[in-house]
Structure 1
Amino acid sequence: MLMQLLTALMPSITPQNTKVHLAQHNGEEHPMDVYLAGDFDEWQSWQSQKNFECEYVIGLVEIPGTKKWLLAGVYDSLKATKAPGQKESRSYVYEYRRVPEFAELEGRLVLAYTKPRANYLFLATCLKSMVVSSIYEKPLTVGTFPGFKEVDISHIELQIIVEQGLESWQTALSSIAGVYLISDNTEGEQQLYVGSATGMGGLWDRWVTYSKNGHGGNVRISDLKKRRGEDFAQHFRFSILEIADKHTGKEEMQQKEMHWKRRLLTRDSGLNGN
């Protein structure tokens, strides 16, 4: 079915002239975060070797926690040049064109496939076991607000939500005060931070600040920026521990915050300084 779908849109695609790029977490960033931010094409163009020596490349992004892959795009006009300066050990940069015939499936087509070790395979290698899993009604984005208990977003996703002013998120987060958790999942430095938000802007106003500067004015998190540089927040995740009415007094919210700091030990071994 997959080959029929591909050739229906682009008859010149064959299993022998097409490579599949299975984009997974590279130790620094997850391609799904990059895709949601709209930067996948530029991110993929940087390669450590000439991995796209073929006529077409199918760019697939791993859907975290699954063995499924989202179609980012199909590319041709592939031309590799030696990069003027290395970028994270990626010394070639590709110029390519996003094939317009596949535009309607970008961000919608989901393929099921159990990946071997290699990230770059000829379509002929994986065609027999790669199947169409589903086609979303609309291209994948951060999505609508999932409910307060289900919020678990990366810093990149938070930036997208704020930059796009996604209405369901803004409406929900503006309606409540609350205690929130920032999880720093940087390898070897996993730490937690507990904070609270009050006032008429609710949790939304507080998180807008994090979307813009990453640290929200917090001392220990600001120290991470000094030590790590501008990408210090790339492994941050944001979730909600407890919600409250926006008219809850500041002192009461501080007590709720202190409760969670004690439970999660964020002052002793985390990012809370008080």
Structure 2
Amino acid sequence: MDVLKLLELDPVDVKGHLAVWNGIENPLETFFDGRFEQWQQAQTKRNFGRNYIVSLIKLPGVCQWLFVGVYLSKGISSSSSDGKCHYYDTELTTIGESLIGRLVVHFKRTGRNSYPTGETLSGRATIHSILPEPMAFQDFSDFKHVCLSRSELEMLYRHQYPSWKTALSSVSGVYLISDRLTGKQYVGSAYGSGGFWNRWSAYANGHHGGNKLLRLLFNEAGEGGFSQFQYSILEVCDIDLSKESVIEIENRWKRKLLSKEFGWNDN
């Protein structure tokens, strides 16, 4: 079924927004964090010249997009001094509100156009599936699958998700911080009370976590230098394992990954 017909929208009143990673943030993460509208309001061009914005976020599947709302476009409220960024005044409508985060749309994007007109969407944006519940940040599953982006890490600590806090607080071990842009790595360890949860809070709240070379990076590049960081777990240990034993395991991983020679470890 045609999505615009489902939403009872006239194509001439609609501008679509095919939200994809902008090099800094994944829009799906901003949706989970309740910041999508704010993220969408900042545009480098005058993209929202029609009454309604049908917002769709790219999903991992082929040609699959998550419907995250129909927004009323009230025009540009302000622009940056250099004219390179425009800030739109928008309002989330009640149109399709029960489908927000649940409706998965099939749409084959041609080229790199992220702002198709309603006429382009009409007949081509169709229902793929409807989820029983709105898509949300996933509950903790297991340690071997932990691989968090920078924004996901911050989200965890803002919302204190119980399943994640419980799991990460229950074990000690060795972790890996990687920069997806440069490939540089940092191997660290978490031990003592609070385990990974306690140790990673220093990164979520302060970026460098007190590490010497990461502190230098922060002084040189600021928060932007950490935007493409990801945080994963290399090895899990018993929460009661001694500090010395955990550090011994950490050093083994440093040797394996050459993080002293080519990364941010300096000892």
What TM-score do you get using the length of structure 1 for normalisation? 0.90
Q: Partner residue of 1:21?
A: 17
Query: Equivalent residue for 2:231?
Result: 238
- Matched residues in 1 for 2:80 and 2:14: separation? 27
Instruction: Indicate conservation of the 8 Å contact 2:76/2:88, yes or no.
Output: yes
Bigger mean CA deviation after superposition, 149-158 or 99-108? 99-108
- The 5 Å alignment of 1:143-154 reads 143-154=138-149
Distance across 1 between alignment mates of 2:74 and 2:62: 29
> Quick check: 132-141 or 54-63, which moved more?
132-141
Query: Counterparts of 1:210 and 1:104 in 2: how far apart (Å)?
Result: 36
Task: Say whether 1:101 aligns with 2:72.
Answer: no
Judge conservation of contact 1:36–1:157 (CA < 8 Å) in 2: no
Which residue identity is paired with 1:133? H
- Of 199, 202, 206, which aligns to 1:209? 202
Distance in 1 of aligned mates of 2:4 and 2:199: 48
Distance 2:32 2:211 in 1: 27
1:176 aligns to 2:171 (yes or no): yes
> Which residues of 2 match residues 38-77 of structure 1 at below 5 A?
38-64=34-60, 66-77=62-73
In the aligned structure 2, how far is the partner of 1:240 from the partner of 1:132? 37
Give runs of ≥4 in structure 1 deviating > 3 Å: 64-67
SS at match of 2:200: helix
Question: Structure 2 counterpart of 1:38, which letter?
Answer: G
Aligned to 2:264: 271
TM-score (norm 2): 0.92
**Matched residue, 1:262:** 255
Deviation digits for residues 224-266 of structure 1, max 9, x if unmatched? 2112123332211111111010111111111111111111111
Residue of structure 1 equivalent to 2:81: 85
CA distance in 2 between partners of 1:44 and 1:100 (Å):
18
Give the count of matched residue pairs: 265
Residue 272 of structure 1, CA deviation: 1.1
- Distance in 1 of aligned mates of 2:98 and 2:64: 19
